[in-house]
Amino acid sequence: MTTTDPLMRVHTNPQSLGRSRERMGLITEAARRAGSYVAGASHRPVYPATEAVAALDAFRRPLQDEPIAAREVLAELDAFGSPATVVSTHGRYFGFVNGGTDPAAHAASILAGAWDQNVGGTIMSPTASVLDEVARGWVIDALGLPSTAAGAFNAGATVANLTGIIAARDALYARQGWDVGADGLAGAPALRIVVGEEAHASALKALRLAGIGESQIERVPTDGTGAIDAAAFPTDTDAHTLVLLQAGNVNTGASDPFTQIIPGVRERGGWVHVDGAFGLWAAAAPSLRAQVRGVELADSWATDAHKWLNVPYDCGFVAVRDPRDLERAMAGTGAYLSAAHDAPMHRGIQMSQRARAVETWAMLASHGRTGLAELIERTCGHARHFAELLTSGGAELLAPVALNQVLVAFGDEAQTAAVIAALQEDGTAWAGATVWKGRAAMRISVSDAATTRDDVQASAAAMLRCWQMVRG
């Protein structure tokens, strides 16, 4: 007898058929709930209502003794969890640099969740290994980095910064004949660390984790846009020097003057690492590439896919010009761990790791080069539109809009803080607070691909309305 039920074709045993049916039903149910979450997101306030947040108390209970059916667990997550999420995927969330959710990457993450592949070693998953290899090549290519650089996916730009800084530290020492792997750091000659005064907290945290303390860090002044003042950059760096530069200031989007700094540092034997968590992606858009001119001259780079690429959390990426420098710092060996030298476990801090490249592969495959450039350019256009609307409503732009970040003040310090609080309460849109050159400011990050011109107009109108209310 033939059957059209694919499950009956593969299962002859009624018990395993039952288990498969149950599992398939559960996954379909999860996908149905995910679909209605996404479809309903536009009808919800960007930030959850107080009652929804209070209802999360349902989760705060001791772990019970008895099991609960998976379907019930899922229903509970949806009932209490979904209403208290921040709607960062529907175009009006402008907080931090939190990207939205690219449809292809999201769909891929659902499938990859079912695959549950460990991409640490090549033999653990042919599919994950090939997608990882292809995606890291695409990222390096899209960013205009040297084609021979080694890339690796990881949990985010902070981990990518840490990985790049450790590779730099060990390489600088190796060039002096000091083997960190053999002799450790105690007694090693000090490195000179030079950063811009606007270096992101993530880069400073990574330095600390790499064993470099605050008192070792030398800060170079920045200009009004937040980029390093090239004229103030030291010209006496040497072969013990690690320089951290930035592509995309988190407040203004401005990038450091790479062409004026990198060649000299490298000629004198130093290492340049670039933190480009979001700003590095300017290189993928023809009209914005000039913003990061010369960034490819550096030794290592950190970026994120979970920000501007709208790949689901979490996904960062590190690239190192000379693959041997990355592998010297990150390779791990063990008798049972046979893996190609370029396997992810030898290029990052984690050994076992989820196959996160699958989502970046799907995002890039679905957009292609032109779609990627269009996404970057469109969101920057929205940022400029925000600036126009807000300044014509009387707000003060505190720095030029270089990329997708907008920095504005509404009257004095107190009014600006009150407008931000009122906007967050209002629910139309969400933007956060920052301090820029000593002044309170609202920062708007247009990082969600779902944002439309209408979203920008409705959000700017809500900001100006909140200001009116605060003044009135």
Ligand X SMILES: Cc1ncc(COP(=O)(O)O)c(C=O)c1O
Q: Among residues 249 and 451, whose Cβ is nearest to ligand X?
A: 249
Stretch that binds ligand X, among 188-196, 270-278, 378-386, 401-409 (CB under 6 A): 270-278
Among 88, 202, 255, 379, binds ligand X (CB under 6 A): 202
CB of 365 to ligand X, least distance (A): 23
Total number of residues binding ligand X (CB under 6 A)?
15
Find the shortest distance in angstroms from Cβ 438 to ligand X. Answer: 20
Distance CA 61, CA 100 (A): 31
- Residue number with CB closer to ligand X (200 or 346): 200
Contact assessment for residue 167 and residue 320, using Cβ atoms and an 8 Å cutoff: yes
- Residue (97 or 265) nearer to ligand X, CB: 97
Smallest distance from the beta carbon of 25 to ligand X, in angstroms?
Answer: 36
Cα dist. 93→41, 176, 328, 456 in Å?
A: 12, 48, 41, 10
- Give the number of other CB atoms < 10 A from CB of residue 64: 7
Residue 277 sits at the vertex; the CA angle it makes with 89 and 200, to the nearest 5 degrees, is 115
Cα dist from 140 to 148, 284, 302, 304, 386, whole Å: 9, 10, 11, 12, 31
Instruction: Report the site for ligand X in 151-170 (rule: CB under 6 A).
Output: 156-158
* CB closer to ligand X, 133 vs 304: 304
CB distance 247 to 255 below 8 Å:
yes
Report, in Å, the least distance between residue 131 CB and ligand X: 21
DSSP result, 420-469: HHHHHHH-S-B-EEEEETTEEEEEEE---TT--HHHHHHHHHHHHHHHHH
Residue type, 66: E
Using DSSP, state whether 192 is helix, strand or coil. Answer: strand
Tokens representing 160 are 């990518």
Query: Quick one: 156 or 323, whose CB is closer to ligand X?
Result: 156
Q: Of 403 and 422, which has the nearer Cβ to ligand X?
A: 403
**Smallest distance from the beta carbon of 401 to ligand X, in angstroms?**
16
Q: In the complex with ligand X, which residue's Cβ is closer, 256 or 342?
A: 256
- Helix boundaries (H) for 41-156: 50-54, 70-76, 103-115, 126-142
Nearer to ligand X, 89 or 154 (CB): 154
Q: What are phi and psi of 105, to 5 degrees?
A: -65, -40
- φ/ψ (deg, to 5) at 72: -70, -40
Of 140, 210, 277, 440, the one binding ligand X (CB under 6 A) is 277
Nearest distance in Å: CB 443, ligand X? 10
Separation in Å, CA 385 to CA 170, 287, 290, 402: 45, 17, 21, 13
Q: How far is the CB of 298 from ligand X (least distance, A)?
A: 15
CB of 2 to ligand X, least distance (A): 52
Count CB atoms within 10 A of the CB of residue 297. 17
Which of residues 46 and 247 has its CB atom nearest to ligand X in the complex? 247
Which is closer to ligand X, CB of 241 or CB of 445?
A: 445
What is the contact mask toward ligand X in residues 231 to 260, using x (rule: CB under 6 A)? ---------------x-x-x----------
Q: Which residues contact 161 (CB under 8 A, 6 or more apart)?
A: 202, 203, 205, 206, 273, 275, 302, 318
Name the residue number minimizing CB distance to ligand X. 156
* Least distance between ligand X and beta carbon 304 (Å): 5
- Of the candidate residues 133, 198, 275, 325, the single one contacting ligand X (CB under 6 A): 275
Cβ atoms of 165 and 302 within 8 Å: the answer is no
Closest approach, Cβ 250 to ligand X, in A, equals 4
Binds ligand X (CB under 6 A): choice among 316, 323, 344, 348? 316
Task: Tell the smallest beta-carbon distance from residue 186 to ligand X (Å).
Answer: 29
Per CB under 6 A, 97 contacts ligand X: yes
Nearer of residues 94 and 410 to ligand X, judged by Cβ = 94
273 counts as binding ligand X under rule CB under 6 A: no
Establish if 344 lies at the interface with ligand X (CB under 6 A).
no
The least distance separating ligand X from the CB of residue 278, rounded to whole angstroms, comes to 6
Of residues 98 and 125, the one with the C-beta less far from ligand X: 98
Which regions of 247-335 does DSSP assign to beta strands (E)? 271-275, 300-304, 316-320
Angle at 336 between CA 330 and CA 341, to 5 degrees: 35
Considering only 200, 328, 346, 354, the residue that binds ligand X (CB under 6 A) is 200
Amino acid sitting at position 443: R
Q: Which residues bind ligand X (CB under 6 A)?
A: 96-97, 156-158, 200, 202, 246, 248, 250, 275, 277-278, 304, 316
